[in-house]
Structure 1
Amino acid sequence: MFAIIESGGKQFRVREGQQLKVAKMADEAGSEVIIDRILAAGDQTEVKFGQPFIEGAKVVCDVLSHERDKKIIVFKKKRRKGYSKKQGHRQDFTRLWVKTIEA
């Protein structure tokens, strides 16, 4: 069974037993999170679509950890002006484990 969920303004296709990186959540590591913003859910034979969400559907996840992604370099330059700026950025994220999908 799979589901398409919305979390942090992004959409993810998830299945049971999968690890997932989403935008940072306020929940503690080790706690359980219920995501009820399900756009679509189904299996090999049948797929249900919501308008925009499926009512009564939910995905139960465990919060594994809060981490920071790899560093990216933000480099800005204006030619012939002597201006350049180098900056690094690391994005915070939450790692989830998908336990069950109920649709």
Structure 2
Amino acid sequence: MYAIIATGGKQYTVSEGDEIKVEKLGIDAGETVTFDQVLFVSNGTAVVGDPTIAGATVTATVVVEGKGRKIIVYKYKRKTGYHKKNGHRQLFTKVKIDKINA
């Protein structure tokens, strides 16, 4: 059984027991979070939402919050002496999928 959920402007394919990194949710480690934007559920038969499935939820436990690896952004224009170097670390929340309620 797997489902497609939407959170943080992105879509994730999940099944029970998976650990995924989503955009920062601001929830402490060990707490439970419920995703109610379920777009698709497959349990032998496929159920497609329009755009979401009414009453379907995915329950997950927060494992940890952290920062991703550093991305270097370098801007450069030739012949003008212009260059700028920036770094960015995206915040994330790692969750473990407990149950898919279809």
Give the TM-score range, shorter chain: over 0.9
Q: Which consecutive segments of 4 or more residues in structure 1 shift more than 6 A? A: none
Q: Is structure 2 residue 2 aligned with structure 1 residue 2?
A: yes
Task: Say how many residue pairs are matched.
Answer: 102
Aligned positions of 1:10-21 closer than 5 A: 10-21=10-21
Aligned positions of 1:92-103 closer than 5 A: 92-103=91-102
State the percentage of identical aligned residues.
44
Rounded Cα–Cα distance in structure 1 between residues aligned with 2:78 and 2:46: 53
Cα deviation per residue 1:61-95 (whole Å; 9 max; x = unaligned)?
A: 00001010000100000111110001111000000
Could you say what secondary structure the match of 1:96 adopts? strand
Q: CA deviation at 1:26?
A: 1.7
Could you say what secondary structure the match of 1:97 adopts? strand
**AA partner of residue 39 (structure 1):** L
Structure 2 gaps of 5+ residues are none
TM-score after normalising by structure 2: 0.98
- 1:67 is aligned to 66
Structure 1 gaps of 5+ residues are none
Aligned positions of 1:38-57 closer than 5 A: 38-43=38-43, 45-57=44-56
- 1:78 is aligned to 77
TM-score after normalising by structure 1: 0.97
Cα deviation per residue 1:39-77 (whole Å; 9 max; x = unaligned)?
A: 00013x311000100000000000001010000100000
